[in-house]
Amino acid sequence: MRDQRRRIVVLTPVRNEGWILNRFLNVTSRFADLIIIADQNSTDETAAICSRFDKVHLIQRPTSDYDEATRQILLIETARKLVPDEKILLALDCDEILAANALETSGWQTMLNAPRGTVLVFEKPDLYVDPDRCLRGQFDWPGGYVDDGAQHTPQKVHSIRIPMPTGAPRLIIRDVKFLHYALLRPRAQIAKRRMYCVIENILKTKTAYQRRRYYDARADLTKPLRPEASNPDWFRGWERLGIDMRTVHDQEYYWQDYETLDYLVRYGSYRFWLDDIWEMDWKKLAADIGAKRISVPPVVLQRASRLFYGVLFRLANLRRQLFLKKSEAEV
C-alpha cells in the first residue's frame, strides 16, 4: 500500500505554454498532490489557466537570461519548503503528459513505495505527426526522484531536472508512460533548436563544430526510430473524463523565435554567422515587429559552411566506424 505520508509534487517550468497547459493541468491534477509552476515571462494566458487549478502553486520568475540550473533549484527548494515530509518529485514539462493507464499499473505502485533517494526512470514516447503514431526509444528518461534532500547540481543548458547523487539506485518503471507532444509541432521544435544553438554560443557550452553537428537544421529528428501505432489506452481514460488529448495547433512564429531574434540583436548577428540558424528569415521577422535590422551571412558563406562542416562530419563518422571495426577485430 502507498505510504500515506508520501506525496507527489510535480515541478514544471513554463513560458507561453497556453497551447497545452490546460490539458497538462487537467491530467496532472488527477495524480499530483501539488503542482509547482515556475513562470518565466509568459505573455499568453498561462497565468490565467494556472489560476483555475487549486493544486497549482505559481512562482513568477521574471528573467531575461536562459538558465535551467537556477529554475530547477528554485522548483526543488520550493517543493521542499512547501512539502517538508515524504514526497516524490516528478519534473515534467507541460508537453509531457501522463498516460491514462499509468495509475492502474504495478509500476505506479512500485514507484509510490520506492526507497528514498531512488531515481525514477520512465519511457517518454514521442507522439509523431498525430497522436495515433509515436516514436519509442529506450527507458532512459530520469523524470522523478524519491526525495531524500540530496543536493541538485544542474547545468545551465540541457540539465537533468532532478537530483542524481552518485550511486543512487535507479528504478526503471516500464509500464508508466509520459506522452511527449513536442514533435506534433514541428515548427516549434525547429525554433527551439535554433534558440538552443544561439544560447550555447553565448554560454560557450559547445564549440562551433559541436553546435553545427548537434543543431543541424536539416537533421531528421526521427532517426533511428520508426513510427509505430500509439496505444489507445494512453488516451482513453482521460478522454472519458472530457479531456481533449488530441488538438494541437502549429503556427508561424513561436516565442523561441522572438527570443532568438533578441539574442541576435543584443549580441550582434555576426557572432552567429557560422551557426546553422539561417534558414529562418530573420530580416522579415525583425521588420514585422520593428526590431533592429539583422545582418545575414552571405549565401556563399552559408553554403561554404554547410559544405565544410558536412565534410568534417563525414570524416568523423568514418573514423568512428573504423574504430568500431578495429575494436571488434581485437575482441
Domain end position, chosen among 184, 209, 236: 184
Which H or E run contains 49? helix 46-50
Rounded CA gap, 142 and 91, in Å? 9
Q: At what angle do helices 255-267 and 282-289 cross, to 10 degrees?
A: 90
Greatest pairwise CA separation for the chain in angstroms: 66
Same domain, 196 and 128: no
Looking at the structure, tell me whether residues 194 and 177 fall in a common domain: no
Last residue of a domain, one of 184, 199, 231: 184
Same domain (yes/no): 100, 35 = yes
Encode the chain (331 residues) as per-residue pLDDT tens digits.
344 579 999 999 999 999 999 999 999 999 999 999 999 989 999 999 999 999 999 998 777 678 899 999 999 999 999 999 999 999 999 999 999 999 999 999 999 999 999 999 999 999 999 999 999 987 789 999 999 999 999 998 999 999 999 999 999 999 999 999 999 999 999 999 999 999 999 999 999 999 999 999 888 877 778 899 999 999 999 999 999 999 998 888 999 999 999 999 999 999 999 999 999 999 999 999 999 999 999 999 999 999 999 999 999 989 888 877 777 776 5
pLDDT for the residue numbered 259: 95
Asked whether residue 130 is assigned to any structural domain, the reply reads yes
Residues 180 and 201 in one domain: no
Residues 65 and 152 in one domain: yes
Flag whether 32 is in a domain.
yes
Same domain, 15 and 39: yes
**Pairing mode, if any, of strands 170-180 and 96-98?**
antiparallel
Please give the pLDDT value at position 224: 74
Question: Could you tell me the CATH number of the domain that includes residue 166?
Answer: 3.90.550.10
**Within a domain: residue 236?**
no
Q: How many CB atoms lie within 10 A of CB 222?
A: 13
Q: What is the predicted pLDDT for the residue at 4?
A: 54
Contacts (Cβ under 8 Å, ≥6 apart) of 241: 26, 30
E strand intervals along the chain = 7-14, 34-39, 56-60, 87-91, 96-98, 119-123, 126-128, 130-135, 141-146, 170-180, 228-229
Q: Is 103 helix (H, G, I), strand (E, B) or coil?
A: helix
Check residue 331 and give its pLDDT. Answer: 58
Q: Is residue 287 located within the same domain as residue 172?
A: no
Q: Domain range for residue 200?
A: 186-219+252-326
Based on the domain organization, do 264 and 175 belong to the same domain?
no
Query: Do residue 317 and residue 257 come from a single domain?
Result: yes
Looking at the structure of the chain, the number of domains it has is: 2
Residue pair 186/104 in contact by the 8 Å Cβ criterion: no
Place of cell 526507497: 115
Same domain (yes/no): 161, 51: yes
pTM score > 0.85 for this model?
yes
How many angstroms separate the CA atoms of 321 and 150, rounded? Answer: 40
